[in-house]
Amino acid sequence: MQIHSVCIDLGKTTFHLVALGAAGKVLVRKKFTRNQLLAYTANMPASLIGLEACAGAHFLGRALRKQGHDVRLIAGQFVKPFVKSNKNDFIDAEAIAEAVERENMRFVPIKTDDQLDLQGIHRVRDRLISRRTAVINQIRAFPLERGMAFAQRPAKLKAAMADVLENAEADLTPQMRNLIDMLWDEWKLVEQQIEKFNLELERISAADAGCTRIRQIPRIGGPAAPSLDQL
């Protein structure tokens, strides 16, 4: 078989492989587990292999490159125009195999372990910042139903928390006071976690020559999230 391009549709435990010939004819259509897939591709001639850039793609891309294949990752939105009707895993794989051959296609670089670690830090930190905002909004909303309003800035709310929890004259039931106390503990915990990530990003940035140069540009700051006093 003269394989022209190969695509693997990725799953958590199963992988669907489609190989196309020079005329676009489907030559191979197989389903594998991860170990079966790597054993199969290890015995294939060096080929152009396309993967959709999704969870697990960077690991598999590096493994296939070690086997000598030319691996290219494609963002999902660039694959969609090549998907035919009656969508399934094999049709998805065939669409990626067609897309990977396009000369003007834009590909996603395969990330190293260090790059994946950094990406993970940013994603977890972003989620924690969203969680902090949700907790602050909930703390603000509950007392509002009891006629207690606070300034918009989170720093103002933070400064008022002791009075909210300890003021016996505040129109809060014991149950509501316990709820707000629990949210206040969560707020402080999330703040500590965000600060931990801020320090780690500062350390990584200071050790990277490119980041150091960029941060010398006026008005370019560090990676830290805005403090409560800045919100």
Please determine, for residue 107, whether its predicted confidence score (pLDDT) is greater than 90: no
State the average pLDDT over residues 82-97. 76
Q: Whole-prediction pTM value?
A: 0.75
Cβ-contact 48, 67 below 8 angstroms: no
Burial class, 97, CB count within 10 angstroms (exposed 0-12 / middle 13-18 / buried 19+) = buried
Please determine, for residue 190, whether its predicted confidence score (pLDDT) is greater than 80: yes
| pLDDT recorded at residue 88 | 73
| pLDDT recorded at residue 123 | 95
Domains of the chain by residue range? 3-99, 113-230
Q: Which fold has domain 3-99?
A: Nucleotidyltransferase; domain 5 (3.30.420)
| pLDDT recorded at residue 214 | 83
